[in-house]
Amino acid sequence: MSSQGAPPGPEKETPWKLIAFAIIAVYAILIVLFNRDEVEVSFVFFSTDISLLVLILLCVGIGFAAGYLFDQLRARRKRGASTSAE
């Protein structure tokens, strides 16, 4: 018989994904709370008052769309260059 007692249990892993999700969720809530002010936005042909949060989300959406379209264009050019080289 061993005098050391019960063997140590397995170490619990830190739930990093859950911690990262919680941090991102808190950050998103803070963004919403701090950006509720109305701002005047001048588009090319008209102006309007919208929430600063909506403006931020609109800019992020335009950025994602532009990045996606650029990636599609780059992939199409790459495919075209590889087929013409053959």
pLDDT in tens, 39-49: 999 989 999 99
| Residue 6 resides in a domain | no
The domain tally of the chain equals 1
How wide is the angle at C-alpha 50 spanned by C-alphas 37 and 42, nearest 5°?
115
pLDDT single digits (tens) 9-35 = 667 888 899 999 999 999 988 988 898
Q: Is residue 41 part of a domain?
A: yes
The predicted model scores a pTM of 0.60
Q: Quote the domain boundaries for residue 66.
A: 16-80
Both tokens of 55, joined, read: 């403006």
Place of tokens 């950025």: 63
Distance CA 36, CA 10 (A): 47
- Residue 9 falls inside a structural domain: no
Residue at 2 is within a domain: no
- If you write DSSP's letter for every residue of 32-51 in order, what string do you get? HHHT--EEEEE-SS-EEEEE
Give CA–CA dist 32/55, Å, rounded.
12
Residue 70 in domain: yes
